[in-house]
Structure 1
Amino acid sequence: MGFKVAVVGATGNVGREMLDILAERQFPADEVVALASSRSMGTEVSFGDKTLKCKTLDNYDFTGTDICLMSAGGAVSKEWSPKIGAQGCIVIDNSSTWRMDPDVPLIVPEVNADAIGGFTKKNIIANPNCSTAQLVVALKPLHDKAKILRVVVSTYQSVSGGGKEAMDELFAQTRAIFVSDPVESKKFPKRIAFNVIPEIDVFMEDGYTKEEWKMVVETKKILDPKIKVTATCVRVPVFIGHSESVNVEFEHPISADEARDILREAPGCLVIDKREKGGYITPHEAAGEDATYISRIREDPTVENGLVFWCVSDNLRKGAALNAVQIAEVLINRKLIEPKRKAA
């Protein structure tokens, strides 16, 4: 007998992607339920060759549900995830609400699947920030080989990370510029069309933004608390796909060729690194794909044991929806969860 899965926030970018990925990967679910806010009740969403009508989260009983994929924002998760977990349903949450909770595992299956057992304390598992997820997938095999001391990362993050409204704003602004209409900024602090904005989330007292802080603390929790990390996060006028320029300093020597060979064998990684015109991956090519693509691997002559590389991934998939579904698959494959109806 299969599992019963609920997707909360099913009408959003990530929620729709979760439904697509559950269908694509033939997740062993007997029933999938689409949940959203009351204003979206009855909205139809696709699930494989089926159409699901959204039910309201407020009225839903989770006692017979095995797994809840939560993608409805931090405020909703803060209120509902503990309630859902208390009903015996495991919540895999995509917001930042639970990531740094010591009783909630923060999981990227290719990197730290063994930490998943800690979910039993609250029945909640956290998905990392989209830019963190692809970063640690690339860093983990290199850390195992040569031990990372320090990471300097600059991100080039697509507008889909800000939701559907952000994507609509990029489209509307681009069109307005072409037809000489006024350009309006509502979602972003400055114009995003034909521009870049070095501000994602709110500013903190030390001058870093919260997005940058998330990358630092989440990388440490997932990979190794001893690694020094600093980040600059930038929003760019791309619809889907986050890119990162990553500079890494290691304790032990590692050459670009060694790194290339290691990453080619690493789970979740695809190396496209030809030293010729166009011999790398851009977010346009990564959109709709599951892998974390790594290109332009080279040695950094300014530090001892240094490497630089370019990293690209579909932020709606590996950065969010795919990672959540992979976490659910780990629960099943490791027999950490049984279908409730079978148990009954």
Structure 2
Amino acid sequence: MPAIGAQAAVRVVKKVCDAYAALKGNIKAGNLGREGSKRRLRAESKPIVFREDAAQPFDDRILTWNPDARTVSIWTVAGRLKHLPFVCSDEAMVLLASRKGESDLVLRDGMFFLIATVDLPEPEVFEPDGFLGVDLGIVNIATTSDGEILAGRALNRYRERHRDLRRKLQKKHTKSAKRALKRVRRREARHAANTNHIIAKRLVATAERTSRGIALEDLSGIRQRVTAKKDQRARLHSWAFAQLGRFVEYKARREGVPVVFADPRNTSRQCSECKHTPRTNRVTQARFVCRSCGAVLHADHNGSRNIAHRGEAVWKRGAVSRPRTSPR
């Protein structure tokens, strides 16, 4: 086994410490089940192991960036490799000027990626003139209080095609089928992340242009609370609602747009005009008809308007205690 330098050894020790700290944090947060559960016992009894192609962190002593030449110099067990070219977008090159801290070397689908950490200034959050409500759903991923529906039918068709493909591959039980399953899973994950980025960017741009904040549903624990119909379970459990929320939050912070989270209970049943809330208001999945005032709306549009109203109430309640430097 070749000898490694002192700094590389330090990074290896730090990586092991971080892995055990993450395990301890997951146990404390209850992510691995209750005390005595099979999953938790299995995680606690086995030592942590690392794949040969696992991501590896590098600091500035063992990895040097040269943005002008678009090259890096990186330490390896075979010695330092210099003048290795890298490619990225022009926007990413500008961001690299503010890079600091560690960089992670990741092997994905046969290609190496360097993930760098950059610092961006966070503008002060402006005082919103109302809120843009966003209703998240299974049929329509996001519907705004302006009536705009984002990522609906076309996205669901894409997910159904991939679900059918996974079923066919799972029946084969061959090594090539398993490799194909990994490719399909990663492709769908990339597509989901890209779609969530597009939705989040559009929501933040709309809110910033109209000087409004963004009100989202607090969907923590939705998969445990919601009982979906059999034909909707796969769609409920396959889409990254939490990821979309994180994307909206960080993009909004970059632009100084306030974000609040509202209680989602009864937003699909409550009339956004008169607040009447019987179960019969929701006629079908897409149609809302108020039994009191007679208002007729798309069901998701009605829900997003309720979320906008609740988001504004949340903002006003926190007006005294909330910090002015970051969104709620």
Same fold (TM over 0.5): no
Return the index of the structure with the highest Cα Rg: 2
Identify the structure with bigger relative contact order (alpha carbons < 8 Å, sequence gap 6+).
Answer: 1
The structure carrying a bigger strand percent of its residues is 1
